[in-house]
Amino acid sequence: MTCGLRSRTEYCIQTHGIYRECDYCSDTEVDRRHPPNYLTDIHEDFNQTWWQSVTMLEDVHTVNVNLTVNLGKSYEITYVRLKFHSPRPASFAVYKKNRPNPAIPDENPDSGWIPWQYYSDTCRDTYKMPDSTSIIQPRDGKTKVNEDRALCTSTYSDMTPLTGGNVAFSTLEGRPSGYNFEYSPELQEWVTATDIRISLQRLNTFGDEVFGDPKVLRSYYYAITDYTVGGMCQCHGHATHCVNSTDDNMVTGSVCLCQHGTDGPNCETCLQDHWDVPWRSATSQSANECKRKFQNFPGSGESYLEATELKNAKGRQEHDKIDLTENEPTA
């Protein structure tokens, strides 16, 4: 649904007034291209590029427009932030997946998406959800509600600003166990993703599209300047950073530099000869390292425990903006 792909198409800039300035979108003209990789490119503040959809005149309002990014690896996502060039949508959703083999392309791109966050001025009608920004645990101390479910908010669904509006989704905001994150397997799973999808469902309008004026219809479309994802690669606390893999089978190639006797792209298992204790995630209290088995040295008659170095368990990484320039989104 990217504009200007098949032919040069006209769009008009939304203003509060009657007069509308118009321009063209064309994939073959350098200054008039708005491809999906403009969502994640690096640019200066004074020369911002943006992705743009076709307009209401080409029926953009009759379909869901999906912007999908494959991260190539499992990440603990802190935030997803969008900066809009058009007005923000009236309704849209953020979905995620946590696929076991993220290095290979998604074999089922249209199913298996887990709702992460809904944005709508009509939460109940559109997503069958109350308008809410947090999950509240009952005070009786006995019952506990699930915190790994999507919420819907109307906060970011205004028609104004007409350009430059932001939407930020913080994966732990409004979730009480976020304060105790390393002891909440539920939220650890909740923030983990290999693929992220933005599904734009309904345009914001002033209501003037009902008269069918082509110039008005050309002024309604989606346009996004920046699609930023923040997080750190998922290493279960067993690595301080990720490195580029030299494994030819990896599509993107970011893997954890595993410590504590662990192995795998996400340190999700023990090294082959380190299974004296079961694998566990590290916490700030304990490295929970994988240990080697006792080995019998011939002739010594003694059992010998291979010394396992107790490394500093506080190996958690800093949360940072994930570089998506190599993982171009699809639209």
Positions in the binding site for Ca ion (CB under 5 A): 38, 41, 49
> Strand ranges (DSSP E) for 161-206?
166-170, 192-202
Neighbour count for residue 40 (Cβ, 10 Å): 21
Q: What would the two tokens of residue 231 be?
A: 């997080």
Is residue 279 classed as helix, strand or coil in its secondary structure?
A: coil
Q: How far is the CB of 83 from Ca ion (least distance, A)?
A: 8
Q: How far is the CB of 49 from Ca ion (least distance, A)?
A: 4
Residue number, nearest CB to Ca ion: 49
Q: How far is the CB of 146 from Ca ion (least distance, A)?
A: 36
Which CB atom, from 216 or from 224, has the smaller least distance to Ca ion?
224
Distance CA 13, CA 168 (A): 24
Q: How far is the CB of 91 from Ca ion (least distance, A)?
A: 23
- Asked if residue 267 lies in contact with residue 274, where contact means CB atoms within 8 angstroms, the answer is no
Which CB atom, from 246 or from 325, has the smaller least distance to Ca ion?
325
Phi, psi of 266 (to 5 degrees): -115, 20
Distance CA 223, CA 50 (A): 7
Q: How far is the CB of 82 from Ca ion (least distance, A)?
A: 11
Please report, for residues 176, 237, 318, the alpha-carbon distance to residue 281 in angstroms, rounded to integers and kept in the order given: 21, 6, 17
DSSP code at position 113: P
Q: How far is the CB of 28 from Ca ion (least distance, A)?
A: 20
Which CB atom, from 35 or from 315, has the smaller least distance to Ca ion?
35
Is residue 319 classed as helix, strand or coil in its secondary structure?
A: coil
Q: How far is the CB of 152 from Ca ion (least distance, A)?
A: 27
Which CB atom, from 45 or from 302, has the smaller least distance to Ca ion?
45
Phi, psi of 179 (to 5 degrees): -75, -15
**Burial level of 328, CB count in 10 A (0-12/13-18/19+)?**
middle
Which CB atom, from 11 or from 190, has the smaller least distance to Ca ion?
11
Neighbour count for residue 146 (Cβ, 10 Å): 8
Distance CA 118, CA 11 (A): 28
Q: How far is the CB of 147 from Ca ion (least distance, A)?
A: 33
Distance CA 32, CA 331 (A): 17
Q: How far is the CB of 29 from Ca ion (least distance, A)?
A: 17
Residues 6+ apart with CB under 8 A from 251: 72, 103, 104, 105
Neighbour count for residue 199 (Cβ, 10 Å): 18
